[in-house]
Amino acid sequence: MATNAAKTHMINLALLKLVGVTSSAQPMLKTDIDDSVFASPTTASGANKDDVMLYCTRYPDCLKRALIDIRPKFARRYADLGLPISITEDTSILYPRADWVYMFDLPTNFLALIKQTEEGNKAAKIEAEERTAHGFAHVVAGDDGTSYYCDTAHTSVDDSSDGQPADDDGNGNWTQFSTDDDDGATWEAGKAYKASQTGKILLSNELSNADGDSAYIEYLAYVQAGVSDMPAYYDQHFIEAFVTLLAASMAPWSTEQGVRRMLMQEYEGLARPGALAADARPDYEVPENPWLDARNV
Protein backbone atom coordinates (compact mmCIF):
# COMPACT_ATOMS: atom_id res chain seq x y z
CA MET A 1 0.00 0.00 0.00
CA ALA A 2 1.24 3.50 -0.85
CA THR A 3 1.89 5.84 2.03
CA ASN A 4 1.06 9.53 1.75
CA ALA A 5 3.83 11.60 3.29
CA ALA A 6 2.35 14.94 2.16
CA LYS A 7 -1.05 14.43 3.80
CA THR A 8 0.56 12.96 6.92
CA HIS A 9 2.67 16.14 7.06
CA MET A 10 -0.52 18.25 7.03
CA ILE A 11 -1.76 16.29 10.05
CA ASN A 12 1.56 16.77 11.84
CA LEU A 13 1.43 20.52 11.20
CA ALA A 14 -2.02 20.57 12.79
CA LEU A 15 -0.75 18.58 15.77
CA LEU A 16 2.12 21.04 16.15
CA LYS A 17 -0.40 23.89 16.40
CA LEU A 18 -2.11 22.01 19.23
CA VAL A 19 1.18 21.49 21.08
CA GLY A 20 1.45 25.23 21.56
CA VAL A 21 -2.05 25.74 22.95
CA THR A 22 -3.09 22.61 24.87
CA SER A 23 -1.35 20.19 27.19
CA SER A 24 -3.47 17.29 25.91
CA ALA A 25 -2.16 17.38 22.34
CA GLN A 26 -1.23 14.07 20.75
CA PRO A 27 2.40 13.53 19.68
CA MET A 28 3.23 13.85 16.00
CA LEU A 29 2.98 10.79 13.78
CA LYS A 30 6.32 9.14 13.01
CA THR A 31 4.98 6.82 10.30
CA ASP A 32 3.25 8.05 7.16
CA ILE A 33 -0.40 7.06 6.76
CA ASP A 34 -1.45 4.79 3.89
CA ASP A 35 -3.69 6.20 1.17
CA SER A 36 -6.06 3.32 1.85
CA VAL A 37 -6.56 4.57 5.42
CA PHE A 38 -7.30 8.10 4.23
CA ALA A 39 -9.91 6.52 1.95
CA SER A 40 -11.34 4.29 4.70
CA PRO A 41 -10.30 5.48 8.20
CA THR A 42 -11.79 2.47 9.99
CA THR A 43 -9.06 0.29 8.44
CA ALA A 44 -6.40 2.02 10.58
CA SER A 45 -4.23 -0.39 12.56
CA GLY A 46 -1.33 -0.28 15.00
CA ALA A 47 -0.83 1.16 18.45
CA ASN A 48 -2.17 4.63 17.56
CA LYS A 49 -4.98 3.45 15.28
CA ASP A 50 -7.67 5.36 17.22
CA ASP A 51 -5.83 8.65 16.75
CA VAL A 52 -5.14 7.94 13.07
CA MET A 53 -8.79 7.02 12.55
CA LEU A 54 -9.82 10.35 14.08
CA TYR A 55 -7.38 12.39 11.99
CA CYS A 56 -8.29 10.69 8.70
CA THR A 57 -12.02 11.04 9.39
CA ARG A 58 -11.76 14.78 10.00
CA TYR A 59 -9.23 15.47 7.26
CA PRO A 60 -11.55 15.51 4.18
CA ASP A 61 -14.31 17.49 5.89
CA CYS A 62 -11.87 20.18 7.00
CA LEU A 63 -10.28 20.25 3.56
CA LYS A 64 -13.64 20.67 1.81
CA ARG A 65 -14.58 23.50 4.16
CA ALA A 66 -11.27 25.29 3.57
CA LEU A 67 -11.70 24.90 -0.20
CA ILE A 68 -15.19 26.40 -0.07
CA ASP A 69 -14.21 29.24 2.27
CA ILE A 70 -11.00 30.24 0.46
CA ARG A 71 -11.75 29.16 -3.12
CA PRO A 72 -8.10 28.82 -4.22
CA LYS A 73 -7.23 28.67 -7.90
CA PHE A 74 -5.89 25.11 -7.80
CA ALA A 75 -9.37 23.80 -6.93
CA ARG A 76 -11.27 25.74 -9.62
CA ARG A 77 -12.57 24.12 -12.78
CA TYR A 78 -14.79 25.03 -15.75
CA ALA A 79 -17.42 22.72 -17.23
CA ASP A 80 -19.94 22.56 -20.04
CA LEU A 81 -22.81 20.72 -18.36
CA GLY A 82 -24.32 19.10 -21.45
CA LEU A 83 -27.96 19.17 -22.50
CA PRO A 84 -30.63 20.29 -19.99
CA ILE A 85 -32.22 17.47 -18.02
CA SER A 86 -35.69 16.60 -16.81
CA ILE A 87 -36.18 14.62 -13.60
CA THR A 88 -38.92 13.02 -11.56
CA GLU A 89 -39.48 15.63 -8.88
CA ASP A 90 -42.69 14.73 -7.07
CA THR A 91 -40.82 14.74 -3.73
CA SER A 92 -37.26 14.53 -4.99
CA ILE A 93 -36.15 18.13 -4.94
CA LEU A 94 -35.44 19.82 -1.64
CA TYR A 95 -36.90 23.17 -2.71
CA PRO A 96 -39.45 23.96 -5.43
CA ARG A 97 -38.02 24.68 -8.86
CA ALA A 98 -39.91 28.00 -8.82
CA ASP A 99 -39.35 29.97 -12.04
CA TRP A 100 -36.07 28.35 -13.12
CA VAL A 101 -36.28 27.20 -16.74
CA TYR A 102 -33.35 24.75 -17.06
CA MET A 103 -31.90 21.96 -14.95
CA PHE A 104 -28.47 20.39 -15.45
CA ASP A 105 -26.46 17.53 -14.03
CA LEU A 106 -23.29 18.71 -12.26
CA PRO A 107 -19.84 17.09 -12.66
CA THR A 108 -19.03 14.05 -10.52
CA ASN A 109 -16.18 15.99 -8.86
CA PHE A 110 -18.40 19.01 -8.08
CA LEU A 111 -17.94 20.51 -4.60
CA ALA A 112 -19.42 24.01 -4.81
CA LEU A 113 -20.57 26.51 -7.41
CA ILE A 114 -18.54 29.66 -7.97
CA LYS A 115 -20.77 30.98 -10.77
CA GLN A 116 -22.43 30.24 -14.05
CA THR A 117 -20.49 32.15 -16.67
CA GLU A 118 -20.10 32.43 -20.44
CA GLU A 119 -17.66 30.14 -22.21
CA GLY A 120 -16.50 33.06 -24.35
CA ASN A 121 -16.39 35.57 -21.48
CA LYS A 122 -15.38 33.98 -18.20
CA ALA A 123 -15.68 37.30 -16.36
CA ALA A 124 -19.46 37.18 -16.86
CA LYS A 125 -21.69 36.11 -13.97
CA ILE A 126 -25.12 34.60 -14.64
CA GLU A 127 -27.72 34.00 -11.96
CA ALA A 128 -27.96 30.29 -11.15
CA GLU A 129 -28.44 27.98 -8.15
CA GLU A 130 -27.21 24.59 -7.04
CA ARG A 131 -29.73 22.42 -5.22
CA THR A 132 -29.87 18.87 -3.95
CA ALA A 133 -32.43 16.51 -5.47
CA HIS A 134 -33.32 13.39 -3.50
CA GLY A 135 -34.25 10.06 -5.04
CA PHE A 136 -34.66 11.49 -8.53
CA ALA A 137 -34.55 9.75 -11.88
CA HIS A 138 -33.84 11.21 -15.31
CA VAL A 139 -36.82 11.67 -17.62
CA VAL A 140 -36.36 11.65 -21.42
CA ALA A 141 -38.62 12.09 -24.43
CA GLY A 142 -39.30 9.07 -26.61
CA ASP A 143 -40.05 9.22 -30.33
CA ASP A 144 -43.51 7.80 -29.72
CA GLY A 145 -44.95 11.02 -28.24
CA THR A 146 -44.53 9.90 -24.61
CA SER A 147 -41.79 10.35 -21.99
CA TYR A 148 -39.86 7.78 -19.96
CA TYR A 149 -38.08 7.78 -16.60
CA CYS A 150 -34.91 5.79 -15.94
CA ASP A 151 -35.64 2.82 -13.67
CA THR A 152 -32.15 1.25 -13.89
CA ALA A 153 -29.01 3.39 -13.69
CA HIS A 154 -27.01 2.87 -16.88
CA THR A 155 -24.95 4.46 -19.62
CA SER A 156 -27.09 4.77 -22.73
CA VAL A 157 -26.22 2.91 -25.92
CA ASP A 158 -28.00 3.67 -29.18
CA ASP A 159 -28.77 0.27 -30.67
CA SER A 160 -31.88 1.08 -32.67
CA SER A 161 -31.29 4.59 -34.08
CA ASP A 162 -34.92 5.54 -33.59
CA GLY A 163 -34.46 7.83 -30.56
CA GLN A 164 -36.90 5.94 -28.35
CA PRO A 165 -35.18 5.16 -25.04
CA ALA A 166 -37.22 2.03 -24.33
CA ASP A 167 -35.69 0.46 -27.43
CA ASP A 168 -32.33 2.23 -27.55
CA ASP A 169 -31.12 1.05 -24.15
CA GLY A 170 -32.68 -2.37 -24.05
CA ASN A 171 -35.60 -3.62 -22.01
CA GLY A 172 -35.75 -2.81 -18.31
CA ASN A 173 -33.96 0.56 -18.29
CA TRP A 174 -36.99 2.78 -18.87
CA THR A 175 -40.58 3.02 -17.67
CA GLN A 176 -43.23 5.31 -19.14
CA PHE A 177 -43.41 8.55 -17.14
CA SER A 178 -46.24 10.35 -18.92
CA THR A 179 -48.07 10.46 -22.23
CA ASP A 180 -46.52 13.86 -23.03
CA ASP A 181 -43.02 13.89 -24.52
CA ASP A 182 -42.66 17.55 -23.44
CA ASP A 183 -42.11 16.17 -19.92
CA GLY A 184 -38.81 14.62 -21.01
CA ALA A 185 -35.40 15.95 -22.01
CA THR A 186 -33.65 14.98 -25.23
CA TRP A 187 -32.19 11.47 -25.02
CA GLU A 188 -28.38 11.33 -25.41
CA ALA A 189 -26.21 8.38 -26.42
CA GLY A 190 -23.31 7.72 -24.06
CA LYS A 191 -24.94 9.54 -21.11
CA ALA A 192 -24.95 8.12 -17.58
CA TYR A 193 -28.64 8.14 -16.65
CA LYS A 194 -29.67 8.05 -13.00
CA ALA A 195 -32.47 6.15 -11.30
CA SER A 196 -33.59 6.97 -7.74
CA GLN A 197 -30.32 8.69 -6.87
CA THR A 198 -29.53 11.77 -4.83
CA GLY A 199 -27.24 14.50 -6.10
CA LYS A 200 -26.75 18.19 -6.77
CA ILE A 201 -28.23 19.84 -9.83
CA LEU A 202 -27.89 23.33 -11.33
CA LEU A 203 -30.93 25.52 -11.93
CA SER A 204 -30.65 28.38 -14.41
CA ASN A 205 -32.60 30.54 -16.82
CA GLU A 206 -29.83 30.91 -19.40
CA LEU A 207 -27.70 28.82 -21.74
CA SER A 208 -24.12 30.06 -21.74
CA ASN A 209 -21.77 27.63 -23.49
CA ALA A 210 -20.22 28.31 -26.89
CA ASP A 211 -22.75 26.09 -28.68
CA GLY A 212 -25.73 27.79 -27.02
CA ASP A 213 -27.25 24.53 -25.79
CA SER A 214 -25.94 24.20 -22.21
CA ALA A 215 -24.83 25.96 -19.05
CA TYR A 216 -21.14 26.77 -18.61
CA ILE A 217 -19.92 27.05 -15.02
CA GLU A 218 -16.91 27.76 -12.85
CA TYR A 219 -16.86 25.52 -9.79
CA LEU A 220 -14.76 24.06 -7.00
CA ALA A 221 -13.74 20.45 -7.54
CA TYR A 222 -12.95 17.79 -4.98
CA VAL A 223 -12.23 14.11 -5.29
CA GLN A 224 -10.04 12.10 -2.98
CA ALA A 225 -6.54 11.78 -4.50
CA GLY A 226 -7.44 14.52 -6.99
CA VAL A 227 -5.56 17.80 -7.42
CA SER A 228 -7.50 19.56 -4.66
CA ASP A 229 -6.53 16.72 -2.30
CA MET A 230 -2.78 16.97 -3.07
CA PRO A 231 -0.77 19.25 -0.73
CA ALA A 232 1.91 19.68 -3.42
CA TYR A 233 -0.46 22.17 -5.10
CA TYR A 234 -1.12 24.25 -1.96
CA ASP A 235 0.51 27.62 -1.37
CA GLN A 236 1.71 28.51 2.12
CA HIS A 237 -1.32 30.61 2.96
CA PHE A 238 -3.75 27.80 2.15
CA ILE A 239 -1.65 25.33 4.15
CA GLU A 240 -1.70 27.59 7.19
CA ALA A 241 -5.46 28.05 7.01
CA PHE A 242 -6.21 24.37 6.41
CA VAL A 243 -3.98 23.01 9.19
CA THR A 244 -5.42 25.60 11.61
CA LEU A 245 -8.94 24.37 10.84
CA LEU A 246 -7.78 20.76 11.15
CA ALA A 247 -6.15 21.54 14.50
CA ALA A 248 -9.39 23.13 15.72
CA SER A 249 -11.30 19.97 14.80
CA MET A 250 -8.79 17.86 16.77
CA ALA A 251 -8.85 20.02 19.91
CA PRO A 252 -10.49 18.24 22.87
CA TRP A 253 -13.95 19.28 23.99
CA SER A 254 -13.62 18.21 27.61
CA THR A 255 -10.62 20.28 28.69
CA GLU A 256 -9.27 23.70 27.81
CA GLN A 257 -12.44 24.46 25.90
CA GLY A 258 -11.22 27.84 24.71
CA VAL A 259 -8.73 26.14 22.39
CA ARG A 260 -11.24 25.33 19.68
CA ARG A 261 -12.67 28.84 19.77
CA MET A 262 -9.22 30.41 19.61
CA LEU A 263 -8.14 28.25 16.67
CA MET A 264 -11.41 28.89 14.82
CA GLN A 265 -10.92 32.63 15.24
CA GLU A 266 -7.44 32.25 13.82
CA TYR A 267 -8.81 30.21 10.93
CA GLU A 268 -11.49 32.80 10.14
CA GLY A 269 -8.82 35.47 9.90
CA LEU A 270 -6.80 33.31 7.53
CA ALA A 271 -9.74 32.10 5.47
CA ARG A 272 -10.95 35.55 4.57
CA PRO A 273 -8.13 37.98 3.86
CA GLY A 274 -8.91 41.68 4.28
CA ALA A 275 -9.76 43.73 1.20
CA LEU A 276 -6.22 44.99 0.72
CA ALA A 277 -4.76 41.52 1.25
CA ALA A 278 -7.26 40.02 -1.20
CA ASP A 279 -6.30 42.60 -3.84
CA ALA A 280 -2.68 41.64 -3.32
CA ARG A 281 -3.44 37.93 -3.61
CA PRO A 282 -4.83 37.17 -7.10
CA ASP A 283 -4.95 33.45 -6.27
CA TYR A 284 -7.77 34.04 -3.77
CA GLU A 285 -11.28 35.31 -4.31
CA VAL A 286 -13.39 36.63 -1.45
CA PRO A 287 -17.01 35.41 -1.77
CA GLU A 288 -19.63 38.15 -2.08
CA ASN A 289 -21.53 36.83 0.94
CA PRO A 290 -19.33 34.30 2.72
CA TRP A 291 -20.53 32.22 5.66
CA LEU A 292 -18.51 34.48 7.95
CA ASP A 293 -20.85 37.34 7.06
CA ALA A 294 -23.95 35.29 6.36
CA ARG A 295 -24.12 33.97 9.92
CA ASN A 296 -24.58 37.58 11.13
CA VAL A 297 -27.21 38.56 8.57
How big is the CA angle at 286 (ends 280 and 288), to the nearest 5 degrees?
Answer: 140
Q: Where are the domains of the chain?
A: 3-72+234-294, 78-221
Residue 296 pLDDT: 45
**pLDDT higher for 22 or 268?**
268
pTM for the complete prediction?
A: 0.85
pLDDT in tens, 59-94: 999 999 999 999 999 999 999 999 999 999 766 666
Residue 56 makes CB contacts below 8 A (sequence gap 6+) with 33, 37, 38, 41, 44
Residue 274 pLDDT: 43
Measured N-to-C along each axis, helices 49-70 and 236-250 cross at an angle, to the nearest 10 degrees, of 130
> How far, in Å, CA of 263 to CA of 17, rounded?
9
Q: Are 224 and 108 in contact (CB under 8 A)?
A: no
Q: What is the mean pLDDT of the chain?
A: 85
Q: Let me know how many helices (H) and strands (E) the chain has, helices first.
A: 8, 15
pLDDT in tens, 52-61: 999 999 999 9
Q: What is the mean pLDDT of residues 116-142?
A: 94
Residue 190 makes CB contacts below 8 A (sequence gap 6+) with 155, 156, 157
